[in-house]
C-alpha cells in the first residue's frame, strides 16, 4: 500500500496599508486594507476548491487570521492558532521604512544589505537565526502532527519565504528567491525522500482584481 505524503498549502495574508507603504511591520498587529479583504475572499474560494483538507493553521496576527477565516468559511474548518507562525519581530524598527532605517540605524542597514550573517539582529527584536529557527521548528511540528494529510498554513511573507527555502534545502538567508505576494498560494509536498514544490507564489486567483501586488521591504 502506498503511503500518502504530506501536502502543505502556504498562504500569505492579504494586503495591509503597511505593505503598500513598504514598512517594516512584523509583530505589529495591522489589519487588512480594503484590497486585502477582497484578496482574502478570493484565496478562500481558491482553497475551497481543494479536496481533503484536514487542518487549517494560522498566525495569531489579525492580517493572517482574517485571511484564514475567509478560507475557513470555504472549507468548514476552524483555524488553529500557532504563535510560531507570526512574522519576524523587527523590534525598534517596526513601523519604519527603508529610508528611515538607513537614517536611524545606518550600520544595521549596511549589514542587512551586504551580509547574510544569520546573527544580525534588529534592535529589541529577533535575529535572523532566531527567526529562521522558529519558523523551521514550527513548520516541523505542524508537518509531524499532520503527517500524510493535506493542510493549509496562513502566515506572512517572511515566514513563508524562510519556510520554503529551508524545506527545499536552501540557505534561509536566500529567502528572497522565494518571496511571495499577498494571498498567494505555495504548494509543497513533503516526503521521506525529497520535498517537491508544485507551486510557489501562485496568484492566478487574484487576476480578476487587476492590480499590482505590494511587496514587503527586504526583511529576514
Residues with catalytic roles: 13, 87
Max Cα–Cα distance, the chain, nearest Å: 61
- Whether the CB-CB separation of 158 and 175 falls below 8 Å is answered with yes
Buried b (16+ CB within 10 A) or exposed e, 2-19: eeebbbbbbbbbbbbbbb
DSSP-assigned states of every residue in the chain: -PPPPEEEEEEEPPPBHHHHTT---SSS-PPB-HHHHHHHHHHHHHHHTSS-EEEEEE-SSHHHHHHHHHHHHHHT-PPEE-GGGSPP--GGGTT--HHHHHHH-HHHHHHHHH---TT-B-TTS-BHHHHHHHHHHHHHHHHHHTTTSEEEEEE-HHHHHHHHHHHTT--GGGGGGG---TT-EEEEEE-SS--EEEEEEE-GGGGGG--PPP---S--
Question: How many residues can be counted in the chain?
Answer: 220
Amino acid at each position: 500500500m502506498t503511503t500518502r505524503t504530506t501536502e502543505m498549502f502556504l498562504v500569505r495574508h492579504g494586503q495591509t496599508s503597511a505593505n503598500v507603504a513598504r514598512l517594516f511591520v512584523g509583530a505589529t498587529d495591522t489589519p487588512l486594507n480594503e484590497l486585502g479583504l477582497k484578496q482574502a475572499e478570493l484565496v478562500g474560494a481558491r482553497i475551497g476548491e481543494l479536496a481533503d483538507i484536514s487542518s487549517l493553521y494560522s498566525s495569531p496576527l489579525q492580517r493572517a487570521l482574517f485571511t484564514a477565516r475567509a478560507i475557513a468559511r470555504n472549507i468548514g474548518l476552524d483555524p488553529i492558532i500557532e504563535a510560531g507562525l507570526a512574522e519576524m519581530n523587527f523590534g525598534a524598527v517596526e513601523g519604519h521604512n527603508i529610508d528611515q532605517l538607513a537614517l536611524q540605524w545606518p550600520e544595521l542597514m549596511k549589514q542587512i544589505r551586504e551580509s547574510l550573517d544569520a546573527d544580525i539582529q534588529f534592535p529589541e527584536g529577533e535575529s535572523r537565526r532566531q527567526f529562521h529557527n522558529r519558523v523551521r521548528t514550527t513548520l516541523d511540528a505542524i508537518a509531524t502532527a499532520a503527517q500524510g494529510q493535506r493542510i493549509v498554513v496562513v502566515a506572512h511573507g517572511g515566514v513563508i519565504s524562510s519556510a520554503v527555502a529551508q524545506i527545499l534545502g536552501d540557505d534561509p538567508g536566500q529567502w528572497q528567491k522565494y518571496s511571495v505576494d499577498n494571498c498567494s498560494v505555495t504548494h509543497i509536498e513533503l516526503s521521506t525522500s525529497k520535498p517537491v514544490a508544485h507551486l510557489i507564489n501562485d496568484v492566478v486567483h487574484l487576476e480578476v482584481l487587476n492590480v499590482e501586488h505590494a511587496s514587503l521591504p527586504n526583511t529576514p
